[in-house]
A and B are shown apart, each in its own frame.
Chain A
């Protein structure tokens, strides 16, 4: 177990060194959420503060999934992922390393955004511990989603396209702009099967809002279950593809 975690750490470290500042990561991982934030701020500066928890969650989603789309798909294309299989590490360890790298990138991007927003707006983080837990768990969950998408396709652009298929409905249905409780009852079930919904809800609570779906700790538990499901699926798909 210790050896597996150590290997996952080195894989994550290698990914950070090798890929983090590639142009697609910067554009999809940082610029896209930044543009979103600016667009909504310019549209309505007064109401903007209410959108901040959702936008922070959105930046986590985009930065982590974009990272995975690049790293995993690119390495499958070049044969570097097959090379990782030659080392005495399991497929789960390899993916954990990749996912951790993506999650770290997401956390970094989000913390940078948060600091910028704190400077610009009078933000009050009511529960920093819950905020931290939400950001870390959301990052890992979204990163596993990115891994699942990336192992399912062959090319980087296919990974981005497939990721958008998951990401864009989440933008509109997970409570970033419209609270989930205000959604028509026919659409609500869709919101409940989206991990972003639980991420936004727990982050909102950390900013002092009332929970809309469930207790934030339960939201974090649901996110963790999503992470396990995506990881397990990714491991199965990657194993069958590599074999």
Chain B
């Protein structure tokens, strides 16, 4: 049940549906995003994330349901919606034949900003996004990471209170993705409300205040990353690294009564246990008896990935596939 529109909500979506021929892209999704919140839509490819962003951006019409941005209806008042949002689409689709500066100025002009203000804004954004040296370089000649950063910059030229980021780091190398995540974090610190779609679980965990898990056009659950992790019914586990390692030691582990089972994980052993205290007592005695020593020992907490797998019933690999990777 979705609560009524609150003055603190930047985005409210109620029973949104969208179909493409017989394919149901969105099957009655509902959620709200509080002002200043980073809200993640997490799901595999084809789950309905981009369709949601397109409807909220006013470029695609829903079959039914309502969506409001800062109180403006996306169907009835698309111009006001567009004035208040910045959108970073899945692909970095600025104009390859224009320079970085010209792209930003053009975006500013279409938001109704005066040319002078657009020029000042472009200069500031190029500085913030570390692209000052590329200001006169054609967009088409930038690296993927730089293109992505400039696309984010273009979405901020009119200083929008709400930002939609559709798969912002897809296709980027590790360093570029990390740099972009830092930019998103700084936007969050500036109080911008952000709707972020991703199929990278770790990214959603790191950046989002709340996450909606979406599969086949339906939202399965909405909660904070911490609450999602806590909801996972995983066995307690402990990772232990011992030295010196000898192969025969594994046979001895099976004699321990406090370990339900164990797995060898690279240089470590993971013990699945029922009670940490009783396991630690028995394990310490065992190590002493075998004349071994403990190099490291860590309790294992469930990850958001564990939560996702348990909640959705999907395989982990589903989320690793890149867009179009399976085609």
Chain B 141-178, CB within 8 Å of chain A: the 1/0 string? 00000000000000000000000000000000000000
B78: A residues at CB distance < 8 A: 88
Cβ of B184 to closest chain A Cβ, rounded Å: 19
Cα–Cα distance between A100 and B82 once the two chains are bound (Å): 24
Cross-chain contact of A87 among B61, B97, B111 (Cβ < 8 A): B111
A14 touches B89 (CB 8 A): no
On whether A17 and B98 interact (CB within 8 A), knowing A85-B59, A242-B59, the answer reads yes
Segment of B101-109, B129-137, B256-264 engaged in the interface with chain A: B101-109
B-chain residues with CB within 8 Å of residue A14 when the two chains form the complex: 95, 98, 102, 106
Instruction: Tell whether A10 pairs with B93 under 8 Å between CB atoms, given A17-B98, A88-B82, A243-B61.
Output: no
Question: Do residues A86 and B57 form an inter-chain contact, with CB atoms below 8 A?
Answer: yes
| Min CB gap A100→B, angstroms | 15
CB-CB < 8 A to B280: which residues of A?
none
A131 to B82, CA, bound (A): 42
Which residues 1-56 of A sit at the B interface, judged by CB distance below 8 A? 3, 6-7, 10-11, 14, 17-19
Residue of B nearest to A11 (CB): B110
Interface size class of A (residues with CB under 8 A): 20 to 34
Nearest-neighbour CB distance to chain B for A98, whole angstroms, equals 13
Residues of A within 8 A of B112 (CB): 3, 6-7, 88
Check B87 for interface membership: any CB of A closer than 8 A: yes
Which secondary structure characterizes the binding site on chain B?
A: loop
- Contacts of B96 on A, CB cut-off 8 Å? 78
A-side binding surface: helix, strand, loop or mixed? helix
Count of inter-chain pairs, beta carbons less than 8 A: 64
- Give complex CA distance A82, B59 in Å: 8
> Bound state CA distance, A88 and B86, in angstroms?
11
Chain B interface residue bracket vs A = 20 to 34
Instruction: Say which residue of A10, A18, A242 sits within 8 Å of B109 (CB atoms).
Output: A10
Give the Cβ gap from A87 to chain B, nearest Cβ, in Å.
Answer: 4
Q: Which of B87, B110, B111 has the most CB of A within 10 A?
A: B110
A60 and B79 CA atoms in complex are apart in Å by: 35
A88-B93 contact in complex given A10-B106, A17-B102, C-beta closer than 8 Å: no
CB neighbours (8 Å) of A124 from chain B are none
**Are the CB atoms of A243 and B60 closer together than 8 Å?**
yes
Does A79 contact B89, Cβ atoms closer than 8 Å? yes
Known: A80-B93, A83-B89. A18 touches B98 (CB 8 A): yes
B7-51 interface code vs A (CB 8 A; 1 in, 0 out): 000000000000000000000000000000000000000000000
- Give CA–CA (A84, B107) in the complex, Å: 9
B110 touches A17 (CB 8 A): no
Contact A89 B97 (CB under 8 A): no
User: Which residue on chain A has the smallest CB distance to residue B164?
Assistant: A86
User: Taking CB as reference atom, which chain A residue is nearest B91?
Assistant: A79
Whether the pair A7, B97 counts as a contact (CB closer than 8 A) is no
Interface centre among B58, B80, B94, B109 (most CB of A within 10 A): B109
Q: Is the CB of A82 within 8 A of B111?
A: no
Contacting residues, chain B, for A11 (C-beta < 8 A): 110
Q: Mark B58-91, 1 if CB is under 8 A from A, else 0.
A: 1111000000000000000011101100010101
Q: B311 CB to closest chain A CB, in angstroms?
A: 32
In the bound complex, residues from chain A placing their C-beta under 8 Å from that of B57 are 85-86
Please indicate which of the listed interface residues B57, B59, B94 has the most CB atoms of chain A within 10 Å of its own CB.
Answer: B59
* Residues in chain B near residue A10, CB distance under 8 A: 106, 109-110
Q: How far is the CB of B21 from chain A (nearest CB, A)?
A: 13
Q: How far is the CB of B304 from chain A (nearest CB, A)?
A: 30
Report how far A62 CA is from B36 CA in the complex, Å.
52
Residues of B within 8 Å of A90, CB to CB, are 79
B98, closest chain A residue (CB): A18
Nearest-CB distance from A152 to chain B (Å)? 20
Contact B98 A88 (CB under 8 A): no
Selected from A83, A88, A89, A243, the residue in CB contact (under 8 A) with B94 is A83
Q: Name B185-222 residues within 8 Å CB distance of A.
A: none
| A6-B109, A18-B98, A86-B89 known, 20 other contacts, Cβ within 8 Å | A6-B112, A7-B110, A7-B112, A14-B106, A17-B102, A78-B93, A79-B93, A80-B93, A80-B95, A83-B89, A87-B82, A87-B111, A88-B82, A88-B83, A88-B110, A88-B112, A89-B110, A242-B60, A243-B59, A243-B60
Task: List 28 A-B pairs, Cβ < 8 Å.
Answer: A3-B112, A10-B110, A11-B110, A14-B95, A17-B98, A17-B102, A18-B95, A18-B97, A18-B98, A19-B97, A78-B93, A79-B89, A79-B91, A80-B93, A82-B93, A83-B93, A83-B94, A86-B57, A86-B89, A87-B82, A87-B110, A88-B82, A88-B110, A88-B112, A89-B110, A90-B79, A242-B60, A243-B59
Q: Top 7 closest A-B pairs, CB basis? A: A18-B97, A79-B93, A88-B82, A87-B110, A85-B59, A10-B109, A88-B79
Tell me the A residues contacting B by CB distance below 8 Å.
3, 6-7, 10-11, 14, 17-19, 78-80, 82-90, 242-243
